[in-house]
Amino acid sequence: MSQHGKVRSRERAITALLTSPTIESAAREAGISKRTLLRWLQQPDFREQYTRAKADVLRSATGILTRNAGRAAQVLREVFEDEPTAHQGGRVTAAIATLRLSLDAFELENLEERLRKLEGQDEL
């Protein structure tokens, strides 16, 4: 397999790992054996690429939650101000979950930033 082919196989494997429910199905989707995928997962460079890809997916998801936090607050405001309706429970639950998850993501990002700053100070 050429170097380019190996890189593409690894990229397909990482994508499959992010979207498949099991190692077996990820390997199948990537067109490699389960044994190969497990071996790659033991290699530090592959694990690092996989970890970065997972972090990118999570950043994207938390970005969506953050963008929807205002809408979630609006839903709660409407529930407080409007006449009660029969099916508000689901909207309220979704709004609360969105706000909680957005806040959790914000706190984690703040903590990461503080750690980066502290680690940078340690190097001085």
Global pTM value: 0.71
Helix ranges (DSSP H) in 31-87 = 34-41, 44-81
The interaxial angle of helices 88-123 and 44-81, nearest 10 deg, is 140
pLDDT digits (tens, 9 = 90+) for 4-52: 677 899 999 999 999 999 999 999 999 999 999 999 999 999 999 999 9
Give the model's confidence band at 122: pLDDT under 50 very low, under 70 low, under 90 confident, else very high: low
Domain parsing of the chain, residue ranges: 1-42, 59-124
Q: Average model confidence (pLDDT) for the chain? A: 92
